[in-house]
Structure 1
Amino acid sequence: MSAKIATPHAKKTWPFYWISRVDQRYVQVLEKRLKPIGIDAPRWRVLMSLREDTHLSVSEIAEFSAMRLNTTTKVVQRLAADGLVATRVRPTDARATEVSLTAAGERMGALALAEVRDIFDIAFRSVSTEEMDVLNGILEKVFDQLKRM
């Protein structure tokens, strides 16, 4: 199935335009809301990836948080220096460094999560549950198609 799209520069019919704009604006709002509590968007992404899994390798965090591996490594190093994460050699694979949240990281993550939930509530206030399901389904399909390229 092929979508009927006029031209890539026609913003009203080019979904990637809107995906990029929404992401850009979300990151701007996120940075503004997280700065007072002392973190930025990349640190938020790492903290949130670790809230779902107790121990993740740096590579797994990079994949989950959609950041480059070298960027993720630097963010993890900064978080470790701030006492928000701890690292260890993965017991089953000495080549992998595992990362986990410290108690301070848990607290910082909870503060950040409250801000992000507020952003979400405001951004999706006029979007129904059904519309959210459709949006997520479409984006997942597009992502899966792009992964095959």
Structure 2
Amino acid sequence: MTSSAPPSGPPATPIGFLLNQTSKLVGRAFDQALAEAGGSLPTWLVLLSLMQGGHRAQVELAEAVGVTGPTLTHHLNGLEAQGLIVRKRDPANRRLHQVVLTDEGRATFLRLRKAAAAFDLRLREGISPEEEGVLRAVLGRLRVNARGDEAA
């Protein structure tokens, strides 16, 4: 026979709170790993997007990275000053700028990718492939629930 009485003892910590705290901790640790490799999260996101998509218009790049145009411009100014990217006028539309990786930008991307891969291995330490699969499924469900989507 099962009881419908509420569980005794202190209430469990809400999953959203635990997830938020874990996200902040993981984010800070990832930022540190990138910094130790000579980069930052914005640098990583821009270089990763450019490596995946080739030359990109600034508008497309801002959307891919998930920032506003002015925020991206700020990051691109820094990356250009470091010699990691160049901005060129789009020949088809002179009002637009294409963002292009330099050789130094590609080298920096490879260095940061190595740091990101090492961080990912560290993060997954002690987690079996089965647990990782469950984690990915649960995180996907949480994303759907947080957005309020109807379909899974």
Alpha-carbon distance between aligned partners in 2 of 1:35 and 1:107, rounded to the nearest angstrom: 15
Cα offset for 1:46?
A: 0.8
Q: Give runs of aligned pairs for residues 1-149 of structure 1, distance below 5 A.
A: 12-15=13-16, 17-125=17-125, 126=127, 128=129, 129-135=132-138, 137-138=140-141, 141-142=144-145, 145=148
Deviates more, 1:98-107 or 1:116-125: 116-125
Q: TM-score, normalised by structure 1?
A: 0.75
Asked if structure 2 preserves the Cα contact closer than 8 Å seen for 1:90 and 1:98, the reply is yes
Per the alignment, in what secondary structure is the counterpart of residue 14 of structure 2? coil
Instruction: Please list every run of 5 or more consecutive structure 1 residues that lacks an aligned counterpart in the other structure.
Output: 1-9
1:33 touches 1:115 (CA, 8 Å); kept in 2? Answer: yes
Q: In the TM superposition, what whole-angstrom CA distance separates every residue of 1:101-146 from its partner, at most 9, and x where no partner exists?
A: 1111011010001111111122123153522541453255357648
Amino acid in the other structure paired with 2:134 = E
Partner AA of 1:55 in structure 2: H
Greater Rg over alpha carbons, structure: 2
Structure 2 counterpart SS, 1:100:
strand
Q: Over the residues paired in the alignment, what is the CA RMSD in angstroms?
A: 2.5
**Distance across 2 between alignment mates of 1:49 and 1:94:** 22
Q: Tell me the CA shift for residue 82 of structure 1.
A: 0.8
SS in 2 for 1:76: helix
Report the CA distance shift for 1:11/1:71 in structure 2 as closer, same or farther (over 3 A): farther
* C-alpha contact 2:49 2:64 (8 A) present in aligned 1: yes
Q: How far 1:99 moved relative to its partner?
A: 0.7
Structure 2 length-normalised TM: 0.74
Judge conservation of contact 1:84–1:104 (CA < 8 Å) in 2. Answer: yes
* Counterpart Cα distance in 2 of 1:23 and 1:90: 38
CA distance, structure 1, for counterparts of residue 50 and residue 114 of structure 2: 16
* TM superposition shift of 1:78: 0.8
Out of 125-134 and 99-108, give the one that drifted further.
Answer: 125-134
Residue 48 (structure 1) shift = 1.1
Checking the alignment, whether the CA contact within 8 Å between 2:84 and 2:101 is kept in structure 1 is: yes
Aligned mates of 1:11, 1:54 — CA distance in 2: 47
